[in-house]
Amino acid sequence: MCNIYAQAAVAVVQTGVQIYGQQQQAKAQAEALNFNARQNEENARRSEQNIILERQANDRNELRQRIKTAQMVATQRANFGSSGIDIGSGTSLLAQTSTAGMGFEDLLSIRETSFSKQRQLHQQAIDFTNQANILRSQAKNVRRAANMQGFTTLVGNAASFTSKGIEKGWFNGSGGDALSIKPDGLTSGVTADGGGTFLDMESSGFDPIY
């Protein structure tokens, strides 16, 4: 009888150790995934901050380009004026218009370059955010899988223990480790089927009721 208790205790401990190991492994994996998720979220925030910085830099660059163009046109007007040329018509006006146009094209180029960088940064932020969401989802799945694995381990070990107990006769008195009750008319220490040991009810002072 003691053997079945010992076997049960061993099975419980082994199952507990298995499930604990599974949970610890899942915990470590989930923590690693969540750590990487936080890194991606931080990268996404940096990308968003860089977008703001890029916009501010573009505003400054555009302002410098406007000032540069205005200075170039002013220099042309001064040169034409000092030469006695009418600055409001003819060749001088065309020259000023051309300078202003080239300056505006440079400004548009500066703006487009900045917008391209901002779009790239925005896409980076989206990619980092999506990756973070994927990693957090994977962490949750790892946890759920560990719980399911623990349940499967518990059921499997219980079934294995039950199967072994049936094979050894722990539950029906047919095995050497089972506890059997003395049948009527037997006075020896062996059960009727020849297996196990019986508990002598009469010698122990127990008065059965039939």
Which of 145 and 181 is assigned the larger pLDDT? 145
- Give yes or no for residue 187 having a pLDDT over 70: no
- Give yes or no for residue 164 having a pLDDT over 90: no
Which of 52-66, 79-93, 185-199 comes out lowest in average pLDDT?
Answer: 185-199
- Give yes or no for residue 17 having a pLDDT over 60: yes
| CA separation for the pair 195, 70 (Å, rounded) | 112
Write down the pLDDT at residue 130.
96
| CA separation for the pair 75, 95 (Å, rounded) | 11
| CA separation for the pair 45, 28 (Å, rounded) | 26
Quick one: pLDDT band at residue 48, thresholds 50, 70, 90? very high
| CA separation for the pair 20, 7 (Å, rounded) | 20
Mean pLDDT, all residues of the chain: 80
Q: The tokens of 6 are what?
A: 């010992």
Q: The tokens of 10 are what?
A: 């061993």
Q: What is the pLDDT of residues 95-145, one digit of tens each?
A: 999 999 999 999 999 999 999 999 999 999 999 999 999 999 999 988 888
- Give yes or no for residue 204 having a pLDDT over 50: no
Which of 13 and 186 is assigned the larger pLDDT? 13
With a CB cutoff of 8 Å and minimum separation 6, the contacts of 70 are 103
- Give yes or no for residue 193 having a pLDDT over 50: no
Write down the pLDDT at residue 27.
87
Which of 85 and 39 is assigned the larger pLDDT? 39
Q: The tokens of 102 are what?
A: 């080239």
Three-state DSSP string of 18-80: HHHHHHHHHHHHHHHHHHHHHHHHHHHHHHHHHHHHHHHHHHHHHHHHHHHHHHHHHHHHHHH
Partners of 129 in beta bridges: none
Write down the pLDDT at residue 54.
97
With a CB cutoff of 8 Å and minimum separation 6, the contacts of 140 are 30
Q: How far is CA 76 from the centre of its chain?
A: 64
Among 103, 94, 43, residue whose Cα is nearest residue 70: 103
- Give yes or no for residue 9 having a pLDDT over 80: no
Regarding pTM above 0.85, the answer is no
Write down the pLDDT at residue 147.
82
